[in-house]
Amino acid sequence: MCGIVGIVDAGGVSFPLYYALYALQHRGQESAGISTFEGTTLYTHKAQGLVAEVFNSQTLQDLPGNAGIGHVRYPTTGSKVPENIQPFNFRYRGLDLSIAHNGNLVNTAELREEYERRGQIFCTTTDTEIMGSIIAEALRTSKSMEDAVLLCMRRLRGSYATVALLNDTVYAFRDPLGIKPLCIGKLDNGYIVASESVAIDALGGTFVRDVRPGELVRIDESGLTSTQIATANRKAYCIFEYIYFARADSVMDGTLVYDVRRRIGQKLYDVRPTEGDSVCPVPDSGIAYAAGYAKESGIPFLEGLMKNRYMGRTFIMPTQQQRERAIRIKLNTVRGNLKDKRVVLIDDSVVRGTTSRRIVNMIRDAGADEVHLRVGSPPIIAPCYLGVDVPTRTELIANGRDVEAVRKSIGATSLTYIPLEDLVEAIGCGEQNLCTGCLTGCYPVEINGEKSCHSIVDYVSGTHQSDLSTFKAGKGRT
């Protein structure tokens, strides 16, 4: 999972890109990068670390220009090496291309082999470089980004929300099923496209709409235009964005994520009304769910866990002992809110089960009488190949275990997951428009050795339809 942003703004873009990436930091903490273009030069600064560690005011001043893109990385493909940090730059016949991608391709190996057979040399191990090669190949013959994105959509299998900077023009496109989110905002003197609407809010911009699945958006100094490159018979919005990944204050494909989570919390009570003395969220992701559960049940919302928000990434600690210690620093109990209580503990998901087990133990150690775990997703039984770091089947605690076996393993007094139909109802767009691969083992794109639910994609070939009448905007106009 990663965060992407593209901005064209007459007042310069490096600082706005920086603040937008800051708002998207939850989508990736491994590395960050920005590319901008001015005159005839493409400028890039990227490094490992958090946004605030990678950039300072000098590095931002050294990124001039009114058009640019940015990326925060959470590694799903390609190892954690500096050459895999995005954006990636390509130079062809006087054209400078920089691209940044959120998602995961599932036919990278085939494409890579084909391109290597033709003599192409790759500098990284990421799927994004393949996308760059396909775009560059199309640009070599046609110079039209529409043709390049059409070729991408025909050839790439998987999820991709992509921003590209071609000289001083920003392009953004979303795979035909819309698996990864991408939205458009209006700024005072330009436009922004970003993974989540919180990046638009951070810049004081106005949310315009989501980029449609299969759509290519072009932004330059004269405004924003759009071309529908492909259309599919369904959508496949990533269900895990709603469950865990997106910020609760983001509006995603028409729905405020906080509302979805609150509705799930309400439904969690309705499917199994439980007596308790307090509703306690696992911070931060469980908070909206717990608000809904507390409202529906009438049981008081009472925080029994506090998160240290200044703590970095625990998973990079090299030893188990160090990781255990890091978790204790990251999360602590509020003993007075837990002692002698029947606690209804709410979390968004259980993946490996190690976090839940540890938290249930901490709450029991703090003196709770009972710990009833309520989970905002159904059991996660299958890996994600489309951009979320959900591990292999053998690592998933719910794979091959029934709910009672998971409960025992975690040590909770009782355990209830939200049923899939309730989750889908809480999101509101219908199961046929969601990717539920990690919950059902059935994926919206073909993946070797896995079950796939059929999706049909039509491509606009030859001339491309431009819906300028509904979506043309000059500089400074909405």
- Of residues 349, 413, 416, 455, which one binds ligand AMP by CB under 6 A? 349
285 is in an annotated binding site: yes
Residue 244 binds ligand AMP, judged by CB under 6 A: yes
Strand 223-228 to 251-252 pairing: unpaired
The reply to whether 348 sits in an annotated binding site is yes
Give me the residue label for tokens 């001043």: 61
Nearer to ligand AMP, 76 or 455 (CB): 76
Q: Which is nearer to ligand AMP, 230 or 290 (CB)?
A: 290
CA separation for the pair 11, 236 (Å, rounded): 36
Among 225, 354, 414, 466, binds ligand AMP (CB under 6 A): 354
347 near ligand AMP, judged by CB under 6 A:
yes
Does 277 count as an annotated binding residue?
A: no
Structure token pair of residue 212? 């449609």
Give the separation between CA 116 and CA 111, rounded to whole angstroms: 8
Q: Is 129 in the site for ligand AMP (CB under 6 A)?
A: no
90 binds ligand AMP, rule: CB under 6 A: no
User: At its nearest, how many Å lie between ligand AMP and the CB of residue 212?
Assistant: 26
Which residue among 154, 330, 352, 472 contacts ligand AMP (CB under 6 A)?
A: 352
Q: Binding of ligand AMP at residue 426 (CB under 6 A)?
A: no
C-alpha 222/C-alpha 216 separation (Å) is: 17
Residue 172's closest CA among 221, 139, 212? 212
Binding residue (CB under 6 A) for ligand AMP from 285, 297, 333, 416: 285
**Residues in Cβ contact with 213 at an 8 Å cutoff, skipping those fewer than 6 apart:** 174, 175, 176, 177, 178, 230, 231, 232, 235
What is the full DSSP assignment across 302-350? ---EEE-TT---GGG-SSHHHHHHHHHHHEEE-GGGTTT-EEEEEES--
Give 335's Cβ-side CA count (13 Å radius).
3
Smaller CB separation from ligand AMP, 97 or 287: 287
Tallying the residues shown for the chain, one arrives at 478
CB of 209 to ligand AMP, least distance (A): 28
123 annotated as ligand-binding: no
Query: What region, left, alpha or beta, does residue 449 occupy, with left being phi > 0 and alpha being psi -120 to 50 degrees?
Result: left
Q: Does residue 385 belong to the site contacting ligand AMP (CB under 6 A)?
A: no
420 phi/psi in degrees, rounded to 5: -55, -45
How many positions of this chain bind ligand AMP (CB under 6 A)?
15
Q: Which is nearer to ligand AMP, 15 or 244 (CB)?
A: 244
Contacts for 359 with CB less than 8 Å, ≥ 6 apart? 282, 305, 331, 345, 347
Question: Is there binding between residue 390 and ligand AMP (CB under 6 A)?
Answer: yes
Q: Which of 62, 116, 389, 421 binds ligand AMP (CB under 6 A)?
A: 389
Closest CA to 439 of 377, 357, 386: 377
Numbers of helices and strands, H then E, in the chain: 16, 27
Q: Is 2 an annotated catalytic residue?
A: yes
Q: Counting contacts by CB under 6 A, is residue 348 touching ligand AMP?
A: yes
Q: Least separation, in Å, of the C-beta of 238 and ligand AMP?
A: 11
Q: Is 388 in the site for ligand AMP (CB under 6 A)?
A: yes
Smallest gap from residue 81 Cβ to ligand AMP (A): 20
Do the annotations mark residue 280 as ligand-binding? Answer: no
CB 355 within 8 A of CB 331: no
Our finding on whether 387 is near ligand AMP (CB under 6 A) is: no
Q: Which of residues 291-330 bind ligand AMP (CB under 6 A)?
A: none
Q: Annotated active-site positions, please? A: 2
Judged by the rule CB under 6 A, the positions of this chain that interact with ligand AMP are: 244, 285, 347-356, 388-390
Binding residue positions for [4Fe-4S] cluster: 238, 384, 435, 438
